[in-house]
Structure 1
Amino acid sequence: MTQAEPAEADKRTTLLQEMGGISGLIYSSVPVLVFVLVNSIFSLQPAIWAAVGSALLITVVRVVRKQPLQPAISGFFGVAIAAFIAYRTGSAKGFFLFGIWASLVYGALFTLSVLVRWPLIGVIWGLLNGHGQKWRQNRRAMIAYDLATVSWALVFAARFVVQRWLYEEDLTGWLAFARIAMGYPLTALALLVTIWAARRAGHLVRQRESAQDAEDKAAEARLRAKYGEPATES
């Protein structure tokens, strides 16, 4: 395995950790399942408290196990906001309203970032790995990140359209199913595109830097030859 390959593996690990890891993806579905189950057996109020309680328990478990704190906290507040909306609307389907509109906002932001030529996947990847925004100087790298960003925009758009329709039809059980079913599979597909884009853009940037270094050395050699100076060892 070359040095570049471990670096790419580290990048993939970093991105997954920022999302909470595999356990984070699993934990995110627990409050939803608890909410729907308790609501179907008892009523809305116990379901709200059960969902918030399960989210709090998951947060404590992640802290005790020294797992990334940011996904745990954001997950808890997401459930808390969803529970508050369900309480205010007096309807179980209100629990999913925050996620539905969040998908619309995220989808719009990702789409807008492509239109203004700052694809969010490239920006986020560069910030997470400390590589900056050199990829923006390479047209093919930009296209790769455009595709990755569009894939996430499509994921959020699909979630919004399907779950909004289920919300309007008062299909709370199917809302929970769609929330989970459109979570893991679609996220996995978008991640695959993201990893491909990052590897592609990284290769193109390194290739361009190598070519630029070669051009600089050739120009320096020509200047030294012109003025009769000895060439320096590289």
Structure 2
Amino acid sequence: MEFKKEDILEELHSIFLNKTFDALLPPLIYAVSNSIFGLQTAVILAVTTALINFSRRIIKKENWKYSLAGLIGVIFASSFAYLSNNASNYFIPALTSSTLFLLASVITVLIGKPLAAWASHLSRGWPLEWFWRQDVKPAYREVTILWAVYFALRLTIQLRLFFSEAVLNLAWVNILLGWPAIIVVLTISYIYGIWRLNDLGGPGVDEFKEGKEPPWDGQKKGF
């Protein structure tokens, strides 16, 4: 099956909308400044960076909701590190996130309602009944297993660095295994998912909603 680069880029753009920069900069500044100036300065600079990102989007009238969530997250993580006087604790929210996504991936596969299907349903509004068809669901189950492997790998590396208190290395790992790795995982998920849906031979979501009878063209765009 032929995949258009424009379709993949459109999918990724619809998900991220320039979120990557806002997410990567504060933890990197935190880790670098902590190694040079100490914890208190690192906390101040990380929060200031997140605040500047948020203010910049407000001034430019861009989508500011993600930046606000990022600002709140940085304040929470920085406060946790400062109050415990442990620089590594800044990354506890990231560890928690990896753990929750891993558990969600595994549990939803085990109960037969894969996380990838829920994510697609919530972002696209497609009917849940379509996702649970036996000629559709295996594609979302297999993609969710891929997600579980990714989150398990990320959590394992994060925990090793966290307990060794390697703050700068942990920051770099969170960056590289954060949005950059997620982009790769979602690209693979999209390409594999579309191919798998067509391999399964089920209806595309529009064909399902219109009640068309087989033979179906299948899902050509969007996963």
TM range (shorter): 0.7 to 0.9
Match of 1:122 among 110, 117, 124: 117
In structure 2, the CA distance between the partners of 1:212 and 1:131, relative to structure 1 (3 Å rule), is: closer
Question: Is 1:139 paired with 2:124?
Answer: no
Identity of aligned pairs, percent?
24
| Counterpart position of 1:91 | 86
- Supply the distance in 1 between the matched residues of 2:62 and 2:128 (Cα, whole angstroms): 29
Whose radius of gyration is greater, 1 or 2?
A: 1
- Supply the distance in 1 between the matched residues of 2:110 and 2:12 (Cα, whole angstroms): 24
| Deviation, structure 1 residue 147 | 1.6
| Counterpart position of 1:204 | 202
| Counterpart position of 2:10 | 13
Unaligned runs of 5+ in 1: 216-234
Measured against aligned partners, the alpha-carbon deviations of 1:100-151 in whole angstroms (never above 9, x if no partner) come to: 1221111101211111111121122122222221333422321111122222
**TM-score normalised to the size of structure 1?**
0.77
- The structure showing larger relative contact order (alpha-carbon pairs under 8 Å, at least 6 residues apart) is 2
Instruction: Describe the SS at the equivalent of 2:62.
Output: coil
Which residues in structure 2 correspond to 1:71-82 (within 5 Å)? Answer: 71-82=66-77
In structure 2, the CA distance between the partners of 1:141 and 1:43, relative to structure 1 (3 Å rule), is: same
Match of 1:170 among 146, 165, 170: 165
Match of 2:63 among 60, 65, 68: 68
| Deviation, structure 1 residue 210 | 10
Q: Do 1:103 and 1:160's aligned partners in 2 also have CA atoms closer than 8 Å?
A: yes
In structure 2, the CA distance between the partners of 1:67 and 1:147, relative to structure 1 (3 Å rule), is: farther
Unaligned runs of 5+ in 2: 215-223
The CA RMSD measured in Å over matched residues stands at 2.9
> What is the aligned length?
207
**TM-score normalised to the size of structure 2?**
0.80
Q: Do 1:148 and 1:190's aligned partners in 2 also have CA atoms closer than 8 Å?
A: no
Q: Do 1:56 and 1:76's aligned partners in 2 also have CA atoms closer than 8 Å?
A: yes
- Supply the distance in 2 between the matched residues of 1:134 and 1:110 (Cα, whole angstroms): 20
